[in-house]
Amino acid sequence: MLAYVFWHWPQSTIDRQVYEEHLVSFHSTLKAYRPDGFKGSAVFLTSDMPWIGNRSDAYEEWYLLDDSAAMDKLNHAAVSGACEEPHNRVAREAAGGVAGLYRLRAGKESLAQSRVAIWFAKPNGVSYSHLHSTLQPICAQEGVALWGRQMTLGPTTEYCIHSHKQIRLPPGFEEVKVTQRLIWSGRSEAR
């Protein structure tokens, strides 16, 4: 499973509640008219992410996809047909954004229950196989998922762990721990 992740923030003149309502409208419409390979989405309000500049808050959208081929279909569906106006409304209100592409590496996707995101890089000198085996006991817990950035697409750190509860990484990891407030979750059923 892949996840296209997009962080954005409203213009200073836009009311936050209105912005959130427009986000939910877009995601609801996308779910109703979902393209092939799109599994669903979630939107969080997050704070203090190093890659969003000097802004304290940003909205973090996760678009779950079967594979990279589904990205083209999502990209087209998000800006056309029934989704065009809800998408354009949010796009007009946004002040900026950054994005990344992630693959589910371990655990089970459970964005609707996620309340904590831990962003981190692989420590220097540690192999990927050792990193994954070290994190395996954490990722085997219920409600924990490990996501890894694909092809350095995006400004974020290389890994993210989502969890419904606070967890601790082993010593040696530099992490950015973020509390998430769920704004929207809409997991689609498989066709």
83-114: pLDDT as tens digits: 999 999 999 999 999 999 999 999 999 899 99
Please give the pLDDT value at position 190.
39
- C-alpha torsion angle, residues 62, 67, 81, 32 (rounded to 10): -60
Spatial neighbors of 118 by CB under 8 A, at least 6 apart, are: 160, 161, 163, 167, 169, 175, 176, 177, 178
Q: Which domains does the chain have, with CATH numbers?
A: 2-183 (3.30.70.100)
Q: Quickly list DSSP for 47-115.
A: E--GGGTT-SEEEEEEEEESSTHHHHHHHHHHTSGGGHHHHHHHHHHEEEEEEEEEEEEEE---GGG--
| Whether pLDDT at 191 is above 60 | no
28-45: pLDDT as tens digits: 999 999 999 999 999 999
| Whether pLDDT at 154 is above 90 | no
43-64: pLDDT as tens digits: 999 988 888 887 779 999 999 9
Backbone Cα Rg of the chain:
16
Please state, rounded to an integer, the average pLDDT across all residues of the chain. Answer: 93
